[in-house]
Structure formats: structure tokens, C-alpha cells
Structure 1
Amino acid sequence: MKNFNETVNDIKSIKIQGATNIAKAGLRAATFKTKSLDELSQAIHTLKNARPTEPLLQNSLNILYEKVKDAKKLKSAVSSESKKIVKQIEEAHGKTVRNASKLIKKNFVIFTHCHSSTVTGAILASKSKGIEVINTETRPRYQGRLTAKELSGAGIPTTMIVDSAMADFLPNADIILVGTDAISEEFFVNKVGTFGLSLFAKMYNIPLYVLTNSMKFAEEIEIEYRNSKEIWSKAPKNLSIINPAFDVTPLELVKGIVSEHGVHTPKQFVKMAKKEYGYLFKF
């Protein structure tokens, strides 16, 4: 297991990818900082700030703090509760994968953007249905290559395209499946380019489903902007480069939200998530 600082750096640098993996890594890292409640609190603050647009990480750490703040034996309590939350995340992931795979019909062409372990899980679970996949390379960090490698390596016919070719290839798809880093009452947050994808989906009347752990629900979400050197390491002087990691897509463009609880309309999901995790928003 990596130490605390290594984990924080790996989260910041996107060596650890995907909301589920980031949350699990953050929970394990917190177990290194248990000398006092203050030390744990500071560690949680550092981890949460490593990737601001990750409510699954933030909410899971908030849950951990709530569970252990009155514990007499802090170290053992943090170890025990973090394992329970990791298990909860893993179980939710499995249920969401199963629920999403039911949407994938025989011979479907699936379009996806970026990398989501939940999306790839649902696709892999549907391999026997004779499916095909179109995925984006997802610049500038090329997370789509991970998606393409996983799916093609499993023998699923996969075509990777440049991001700017979305509109040209989307009409070939039967369904769009994307993950999300965060979801609120009015929108969801995913890799930049998702909003444009959702507009094309509406134009071509192709259903877009968002796959998520309900613990990713949040009332306030900060959009992360990354270093411009990811776009152009030796850019000309006097050139301004903006590098948003995510964009915001209105829920009105979403056909359904798939979680551990099933497939719901956005309004149904929001009502359910607020009831389940509303107590966290005081942090």
C-alpha cells in the first residue's frame, strides 16, 4: 500500500483514475493519519482538495469522519470503517454494472466518452450479446485509451475516434453510456466534451444514460481546471490556453440515471439521493 503523500500525488496527477478508484484510494490513505482526530481531519481536507470535482471521494471521507469522530480507539475505528465504506462502494459498483447491462440489447453499438470502470464493467458483462463499441480518445490525458485497451483486450469490437469526430460517428450508435464524477439537482459533471456529446445525442435521438454511485450526489461542485502544459508543453508566448477537466451537462438531456438502486429518471434519482445522503451537505 502506498503512503499518504504518494496517494495524494497520484490522485492529483491522475495516476489514479476513475471516481470509484479515487475514493477507495482516499479511504485507504486516511488510515495513515490516525494519531489524533485533528490529524485525521487535516488529512481528509488534503485528500478532498486533491481532486475538487470528486464527490464520491469527498462524501465517503465525510461519512468516515462522522463514523469515527467519537471513537475511543481512533486507529482501529478508522481502519474498520474505511473497509466498510470501501465494501459499500464496491457493492454499489457491482449492482450498477448489473443494472446498466440490462439496457444493452443484442447487437447494440455503444458509444462512450472518457473512461469509467462502471461503463466498461457493464459492457464487459454484455460481451455475449454481440455488441460493438465506439469510444473517444479523450484528450489531453487520453483516458479513452484505457477504455479501448480494456474492451478490445476482452475481444469486444472497439473503434476509438478523435474527440472532434463525435458528431460523425454518433449516428452509428444505439445507446450512449457515460460515467460521472458528480451529479446535482440540475446537472451532472463528466469529462469535458460530454455536454457536446449530449447535444448531439438529442439531435440524433440517441438515449444517453449516466452510470453512477448515488454517493456521487452533491449540492456544490467545483469544476477543475488543469495545467495548460497538458495541452501544449512549449506553447508560444502570449498564448492563452484553457484546460477544463470537466464540463456540466443539464439533466434534461439525460434519458436515465443508472445507480445501485436501479434505472431512474433524473428527478427520481435526485429525490432518492437527497434522502439518502442529504446529511452530508453540512460539511
Structure 2
Amino acid sequence: MPDVHSLVNEFVVKLKKRKVEGSKACAKLTAELLRSFISQQRLPQRNESGALIEAVKSVGEELVAANPVELAVGNVVRRVLHIICEENLSLTTAAVGGLSLSAESDDEDDAHDDYPALSAIMVAAAARSALRPPSLQTLLEDVPNTIAVPHTSSSGGDSEGKSKSADKNSVTRKLKHNVIEAVNELIQEISTCHEQIAEQAVEHIHQNEVIMTLGSSRTVTEFLCAAKEKKRSFRVFVAEGAPRYQGHALAKELATRGIQTTVITDSAVFAMISRVNMVIVGAHAVMANGGVMAPVGLNMVALAAQRHAIPFVVLAGIHKLCPLYPHKPEVLLNELKSPSELLDFGEFSDCLDFGSGTGSPLLDVVNPAFDYVPPNLVSLFITDIGGHNPSYMHQLMAEYYSVDDLVVRGKSAS
């Protein structure tokens, strides 16, 4: 296999130079890189899960710092850290459960009375509680605070020591294998998220509806085309999404696949939205409060939809769920693109020069890449595991990320 450190450095350079863009591409490449990294790690005999977590965190910090705006990179790193914790706890549960059974059978009278063996069910409950954030439900659950390993008799100490050592080596080998298998499932989940979301299209798009979207999104494209394949007849208004005008490419794709499409300017959204039954858009990231980081211009569409009481539906894969809040100052959520997308430098070069001794150009060009849509403007999230209300996003993220991994330490959290 190629040297994993060279792969990490190569991917970091691509992120810094913006050669890899888009949530799905960044998420999939990050998961594949972490899979290669984990497969080449040599874990110590003691605390192998802790060593693996620290190694993945160090790589994750480097990847996040390379391009903090691509929040999917940090999301995948946190998912992998959560996978390591889950697999380690699962192996620990199985090991303690096996020791419980042997302790009960060998020392049923003395050892069981002095050191009650912890059942596998109680260990599993403790493991689940450790992975979940604190809540009223976890506080009320009857789970022991500490997990005590059952005591066994001292007879046959040499054979028991060898057996324990063999079991530990087996657990170490199993940990890497199980983590790699789970990361493979994560890669498959990221690859098929569009198909999983598109399967739900027929439940939300009905006959003779008018739908509005902005810009271009592969998830939205597959979602609309899946409804067309189910014999739904509808019309789509596509706002062109200046300054990149990605809506033109989406409109061409929809028309090619037999969907009636109308292209409108971004400034015509409020004028045309009264004819619309539903707004369906993609997302760059979904924040912990249910807010959405989306291509620039979508907040305007969301406000217009709210004004006319039109459902605003966001399509997003699970890898886009970011367990951070948009108000944190260390979270970089936006970036400014090149002014050349808005103005031709040759025509406006005189205005862009530094003049009048002020130390700043007479004409300033701002070209942000993303908008923030607050959760009160979102009607529904459709993910690859179903539809959810914005208020449920925080609980949904708690199932995919560990509490200790909500912030990947580095130059910038994302």
C-alpha cells in the first residue's frame, strides 16, 4: 500500500488549493483516507482504542485546518471517532460478558457472592450511556457508575494469565478489523445518499405541482427525476443562482430528462413564488440548531417562501450534519470567492486601483459563497434515513457523534 502520510499530505494540498470541493466529494475522500490510515496503524497492547483515537484526531485536525469551510471533512472525522468508540465498547461488552459467564460457572458460591459479575446487558447499557450526551433519560436510567471486572480465583494463575493475554491480542486485532468494516459502510452510505433521498420523492411531490429551486444540486436533480420516473407530472422554476449561474446547468439537465422547466432570475424569486407549491433545495451543511449553510441566495428564497406560507424543504445526506452552532466565532462558515465572477477586471481596473491616498480601493467587490438559513425558515429536512423536523436535528446528531468529539481541536473547528 502507498505511504499513508504522503496520501494525507496530498489531500491536504488539494483542500488548500480548492481542488476538491463539494460536501460529498470531500466526505468520501476523507473517509477513504482515514480507512487507509487506520489500516496501517500499529496499535500498542494497552489502550489500543485510545491510541487509535489520538492518531485519527491528529490527522483530522490537519485536514480541518486545510479548508475549514468544507464542514463535511470534520463531520466524517467525528463519525470515524464515534465508530472507534462504539466498536471498542462493543468488544468490551462481549469480553466482560464472557468473563461474567465463566466467573459464574467456576466460582458460583464464593466469587459470585463477594464480587457479583456484571451482566452483559448492564455493560451494554453503560456503553450506550457513555456515547450519548447527558439528558434526563440517561440520568434516570439505572446504569452502574463504574464497570467492575468480575474477580476470579487465583488457582491456575499461569493458564488464566495466558488466556487473558490471548483474549486481549484477539480484541486488538478485532478492533481494527471492525472499525475498517464500519468505515466501509460509511463510505457506502456517502456514495448512495442521493439514491436513498431520491426514493422518498414520490411521497413529497404530487401531481401537477409547481416546484422552485435555486442553483444546481445533484441531490435535487436526482430527487426531481425520481419523481418523474414515478409518473409524476410537475413543473420546476429554477432560479439561475448568480454569479456562477449553476441553475442553467440544472435547467438543461431537467429539460433533457423530460421535466417542464422555467429559468428565472434571482431577482424574480419573490414575484414568481406565489405560483409555487413547494421549494426544494440542497444544502452545504446542516448545523446543530437546525440552521442551514447553503449556496448564496437561498436565504432570500426562504424568506419569500415564509412570506407566502410555502413549504421550504432541504435535502441533505447524513454526512452533512455538522454538530456545531453557527454563532461560535471559531467556526468559519463562509468564504469570499474571486471578484472576477462579478466584474471584468479590465473594465473596472481604474476603480479597483488604490487612490486618493486612502490606502483602500475606491471600488470593493464582495462575493460570498454561502448563505445561512435559520431553522425557523425550514419546514422539513429529507435525509437518507427519512424526513425530520428542524428541531430534531440536534437529537439526530447525538446518534452519530460522541460528546467528546463535537469539536475537532485544531487551528479552526469545523
- Normalising by the smaller structure, the TM-score range is 0.7 to 0.9
State the identity %: 27
Distance 2:282 2:68 in 1: 17
User: What is the aligned partner in structure 2 of residue 148 from structure 1?
Assistant: 251
1:126 deviates by: 0.8
- Structure 2 residue runs of 5 or longer lacking an equivalent are 1-6, 42-51, 89-171, 327-331, 353-360, 409-414
- Does the 8 Å contact 1:186/1:250 carry over to 2? yes
Distance 1:65 1:143 in 2: 35
User: What is the aligned partner in structure 1 of residue 75 from structure 2?
Assistant: 59
1:77 deviates by: 8.8
Does 2:120 align with 1:19?
no
Return the index of the structure with the highest Cα Rg.
2
- Spell out the pairing of 1:125-274 with structure 2 (5 A cutoff): 125-127=226-228, 128-184=231-287, 185-215=289-319, 216-221=321-326, 222-229=332-339, 230-234=341-345, 235=348, 236-237=351-352, 238=361, 239-274=363-398
Distance 2:387 2:71 in 1: 20
- Structure 1 residue runs of 5 or longer lacking an equivalent are none
1:195 deviates by: 0.9
1:79 deviates by: 7.0
User: What is the aligned partner in structure 2 of residue 281 from structure 1?
Assistant: 406
- Does the 8 Å contact 1:52/1:224 carry over to 2? no
Does 2:207 align with 1:106?
yes
Secondary structure in 1 matching 2:215: coil
Coordinate RMSD, CA, aligned: 3.3
Distance 1:157 1:8 in 2: 42
Secondary structure in 2 matching 1:125: helix
Secondary structure in 2 matching 1:102: helix
- Spell out the pairing of 1:57-96 with structure 2 (5 A cutoff): 57-64=73-80, 67=83, 82-96=183-197
* Aligned CA distance change for structure 1 residues 177 and 258 (closer, same or farther; 3 Å): same
Q: Deviations over 1:55-109 (max 9, x none)?
A: 3332113333565799879999997665332112234443222224421111222
1:186 deviates by: 4.7
- Does the 8 Å contact 2:201/2:227 carry over to 1? no
Distance 1:57 1:146 in 2: 26
Secondary structure in 1 matching 2:242: coil
Secondary structure in 2 matching 1:112: strand
1:54 deviates by: 3.4
Number of residue pairs aligned between Structure 1 and Structure 2: 281
Scaled by the length of structure 2, the TM-score of the pair is 0.58
Scaled by the length of structure 1, the TM-score of the pair is 0.82
Distance 1:151 1:16 in 2: 26
Q: Deviations over 1:8-46 (max 9, x none)?
A: 566566665542233113333556767768996665444
